[in-house]
Amino acid sequence: MGFIRRQEERLALRYLMWQHHRMNLPMPAPSKLQSQASKIVDDAHRIARETGGTVISIIKEMIDDLKKSRGA
């Protein structure tokens, strides 16, 4: 895994943790959070290729959508 990919996953992981804390949700196991972060980054890269968007903005949108789907 490359340096940039690791940084993107770390950003997604921190953002997921922040969202759980902010919404007073129980924190999932670290492996589950890491898996979610990895999937978010994979999906963001796929969407960026298809639409020409930036990975960071797509990651933020995806996490916001995840937050909304959980009833926040």
Residue 3 within any structural domain of the chain: no
- Helix, strand, coil content of the chain in percent (nearest 5): 80, 0, 20
Question: In degrees rounded to 5, what are phi and psi of residue 2?
Answer: -80, 165
Residue 7 within any structural domain of the chain: no
Q: Give the relative orientation of helices 30-51 and 55-69 as an angle to the nearest 10 degrees.
A: 120
Residue 51 within any structural domain of the chain: yes
Model pLDDT, residue 37: 92
Model pLDDT, residue 70: 65
| Helices and strands per DSSP (H, E), number in the chain | 3, 0
Give the pTM: 0.71
pLDDT tens digits for range 10-49: 988 998 898 888 889 999 999 999 999 999 889 888 888 8
**C-beta neighbour count of 2 within 10 angstroms:** 7
Q: Which of 30, 25, 26 is CA-nearest to residue 14? A: 30
Residue 44 within any structural domain of the chain: yes
Say how many domains are in the chain. 1
Residue 38 within any structural domain of the chain: yes
Work out the pLDDT band at 53, boundaries 50, 70, 90.
Answer: confident
Range in 5-14, 39-48, 51-60 with the lowest mean pLDDT = 51-60
